[in-house]
Structure 1
């Protein structure tokens, strides 16, 4: 299959997943009409989404997967979801990074997208517990696209135990973070809700995220609309500990209004900002 065909498949599967989540389920025949593809193509797409653990196949269609609160998808599985939303969020969040400042980036696919946008911000000191994020800056500084010798970032990668999402967590990471202070933390999350605040399926990651929040003067959460209402096993921060949440235009109006009631700042990428 060609690269172009792969890209089209990814886009199609993202549309299918969005429809499943929005409606609570879809039928194969509905998807074939809407997407203009064959029954077999739709079934292959559903098989691929089911392997990623984001949908559950049922007779004649699919429904959202009923994930356990302790389930943590891998980085590759998450990176194929909501790509456009993550790019929009990253573009807006990157404008909040001041040249010459000390910032922290947690693990996650949205912070990974943000890291690429931050290559153009000069003289940053970047602390991260994400192997993927560190690799972005390393590649840029060693001949990759976007390398800028004069204003290259200084990157500090914490130690720790690697999670399925390629974050480093645990006592080693916690100790390293405890002695540092950041101007701003860009924080990716598994779930956001009024009741549970920010949460993750990984207990060790929750503790490391608490340390990141405690070490930051300003906390910016970067989370696409699918994270709203999701609750992981362990909460690590209340919504009132977040200074700004950057999300995308897929967030329903009712959810925006409720978020705005509990957050000092809500920014919708590509949409209006709610104080």
Structure 2
């Protein structure tokens, strides 16, 4: 029997060189190093950051590239918001948890990360947090058994604060602001409407998110497919961040 399958091919992004996107300003103090491009829109200030000095990339502020990136971020933020969680965790602290790939929501609006979060296995991890994410100092997101920073997303309804000495693997998308107090980020910091503030020496390294495929089915069987990562490029202007939501159910053979 052939199942009727609805497939959504979702490219969350192709941010090969975006380390930071902010709505108002990006501020850095201390011995901060950013590997990747910095986007500010509609704001245009970046105190403490100098292209070619502590930014190994391009700073785009209030120009056409920044406008396009900001629009793409808005689309991505909304795409992730529309993902339906397949697990709801009755916890307020992600510390000391070992989780497998999935789309996670929480009973609590504010979530903490005190200590280490271990992600176990290859696949996409989406953490949908209603208001805020706050970490302790010296926290870590540990990847084992094929888990990759390029498939981890923290989608936060308001603000994010990352403590001193943390290592965060993945992409942080906040509706308002992000504050990093001396940490290492492997992925990206994306503040839709507010500022990204780095208050101590930090290292932000841009990665490229992978494409993944969501699949649903109307019967007991499941047909699913996966897609390889998009190819990388180091030139911002050549990779507008694409958001694709294509429904293919109409192409399936009727049951």
Category of TM-score, reference length = shorter chain: under 0.3
Q: TM-score, structure 2 length as denominator?
A: 0.27
Q: Which has the higher contact order (CA 8 A, sep 6+)?
A: 2
